[in-house]
Amino acid sequence: MAPRVIGELTVRGESLAVAESLTGGLVVSTLVGVPGASAVVRGGVVAYATPVKASVLGVSASLLAANGAVDPEVARQMAAGVRTALAVDGEPATWGISTTGVAGPDPQDGKPVGTVFVGIASADGAEAFALHLDGARDAIRQRTVSELLVRLFATLQSGE
């Protein structure tokens, strides 16, 4: 799916910024593995520690304190925040995407392993999608990347 996402963004002349937690850079790595990715990928922020989500990406500290990092609103705010954090010449990225969740082996913030939220943000706003994934840690992380890119491509295709 990564080549399709890069191709579509290239044709549209749009840019992408990535905020990752449980995937730890896997989304950006997957995207930049595609020739021509440098035309659209601004970069990524691995906000693995919860406080980094607030300090770098602008996620509400009170939201993080109340709900923890594994939350749909956190995914939305991460996606919106990375658009701004990776602005170029004052212009936010066209799209921001994010991952947050529990890859295991243990539950986190009261959420079971396999609970994942991915976010997609544009100038029109941000939304989050819940994923409930099975498998070992690496499988959950890989599936998160795949599901996020499928959802981003579908969003691009829907004409947003």
SS (H, E, C) 85-150: HCCECCECCCEEEEEEECCCCCCECCECCCEEEEEEEECCEEEEEEEECCCCHHHHHHHHHHHHHH
pLDDT in tens, 33-57: 999 999 999 999 999 999 999 999 9
pLDDT in tens, 76-86: 999 999 999 99
Distances from the Cα of 45 to the Cαs of 28, 138, 155, in angstroms?
Answer: 9, 20, 22
Q: Which residues contact 70 (CB under 8 A, 6 or more apart)?
A: 100, 101, 102, 108, 109, 111, 115, 116, 117
Distance CA 151, CA 25 (A): 18
End-to-end CA distance of the chain: 18
pLDDT in tens, 9-28: 999 999 999 999 999 999 99
Q: What local confidence, expressed as pLDDT, does residue 159 receive?
A: 72
pLDDT in tens, 83-130: 999 999 999 999 999 999 999 999 998 999 999 999 999 999 999 999
CB-CB contact of 50 with 78 (8 Å): no
**Whether the model pTM is above 0.85:** yes
Domain architecture of the chain: domains with CATH? 2-157 (3.90.950.20)
